[in-house]
Amino acid sequence: MRTMRSMRFPILAVGLVAVLLGLSGCSDFDREWNAVATMKPADQTDITGRWEGTWSSDADGHSGGLRCIITRLDPRSYHARYAATYGGIFHFSYEMTLIADKQTDWVQFEGSADLGSMAGGTYNYEGHANSETFYATYKSSEDHGRFNMKRPESSK
């Protein structure tokens, strides 16, 4: 069981990352989120558009809300822009490129993002999605967990 003293660093680190990434990132994300609200998946393997759900850490049990906007860069890669909450009050966002392999009914992908040393360094992601569900795992030197997302009601 962690003591309050040992839990201070993760809480402070996430708070600092939120400040460093800037509160304006949230409003930029919200503008983009609203701009793509009418996008509908073209087929079963179309993962572009809006996603929402949760992230959860298997290392320490922390969790929070998660939203993502995915745009296609080329036939094998996508840009993913994430906005997450931590502790119910902290908001942070980051972006990454997902390298994808299209399967018959879904897309398998992987990517990585360096969130800085105070937030755990480089996180590696792998997962799969179709037009309705998105599942990924993440791992860094200090944390590992999962993302579970679905399309928001207005995107179906």
pLDDT tens digit sequence for 107-153: 999 999 999 988 889 999 999 999 999 999 999 999 999 999 999 98
- SS3 state at 59: coil
Which domain CATH number covers 102? Answer: 2.40.128.120
Identity at 69, one-letter amino acid code: I
This prediction's pTM: 0.81
Q: pLDDT tens for residues 7-62?
A: 444 443 444 444 444 444 568 899 999 999 999 999 999 999 999 999 999 999 99
Instruction: Kindly report the length of the chain.
Output: 156
Measure the CA–CA gap between 28 and 62, rounded to whole angstroms.
26
Based on the structure, what is the number of domains in the chain?
1
Provide the residue range defining the domain that includes 34: 4-155
